Amino acid sequence: MDPNQDLLTLRLRDIIPTPSGRLFVGVAIHKLIGQRLTILLMRRGFFPPDRHKWEIPAGEVEATDNNVREAISRIVYEQTGLGVYYIEDELSSLNLSDDQRYLVIQINFRVRVAAELETRVIAECNENDYMEAAWLTRGEIDDYDVRMRPAMDELIDEAFEACIEAEL
């Protein structure tokens, strides 16, 4: 049995977006390129508040999503054109609220996608939300001074650490 099954099927009922809040799901999609561990990052488009900043693919949970697993699959496909192969584990959640009166939460997961689709991601980048995508190592993120929210940088560190621990 999938150890995340309860979270993935029940969480949506527990955290229902209200008029004063919204729920997003983020996915740290990882793969090996040769011997290099990479995570897919996408650069936001022209809309504030995170214009041109990099992040993991993410999207809002919709009323038509029956559960978090379904939302993850839909969001991965809509943002990247990739299909989810396996949801590995939950990462830290992010509070994206800019205003104390309006709650915006992003729950995040580490995800594997179908191997035959991994190379298509750049061409499938959802241009409504993102302007480019790249598979990057932790070193490349640091070397190129990739701009992102500090909380996103910490989340990406957590995702890299979880991938390394899982392989040991």
Q: Give the pLDDT score at 94.
A: 87
Task: State the average pLDDT over residues 1-28.
Answer: 61
More confident residue, 59 or 15: 59
- Alpha-carbon distance of 94 to 48, in angstroms, equals 18
pLDDT at position 15 over 70: no
- DSSP letter at 83? P
Q: Give the pLDDT score at 13.
A: 47
pLDDT tens track for 51-89: 778 999 999 888 888 888 899 999 999 888 888 988 999
Structure tokens at 50: 């995170």
Look-up: residue for tokens 């980048």?
125
Q: Give the pLDDT score at 56.
A: 94
- Alpha-carbon distance of 141 to 38, in angstroms, equals 10
Q: Give the pLDDT score at 48.
A: 63
Q: Which residues on adjacent β-strands are paired with residue 104?
A: 22
pLDDT tens track for 116-157: 555 554 546 666 778 888 889 999 998 877 888 888 999 999
Q: Give the pLDDT score at 20.
A: 64
Specify the CATH superfamily of domain 5-167: Nucleoside Triphosphate Pyrophosphohydrolase (3.90.79.10)
Provide CB contacts within 8 A for 165, sequence distance 6+: none
Look-up: residue for tokens 């040769």?
34
Where are the chain's structural domains? Answer: 5-167
- Alpha-carbon distance of 136 to 27, in angstroms, equals 15
Tell me how far CA of residue 59 lies from CA of 4, 44, 72, 168, in angstroms. Answer: 20, 12, 9, 31
Tell me how far CA of residue 129 lies from CA of 5, 17, 47, 80, in angstroms. Answer: 29, 21, 8, 11
Average pLDDT, the chain: 79
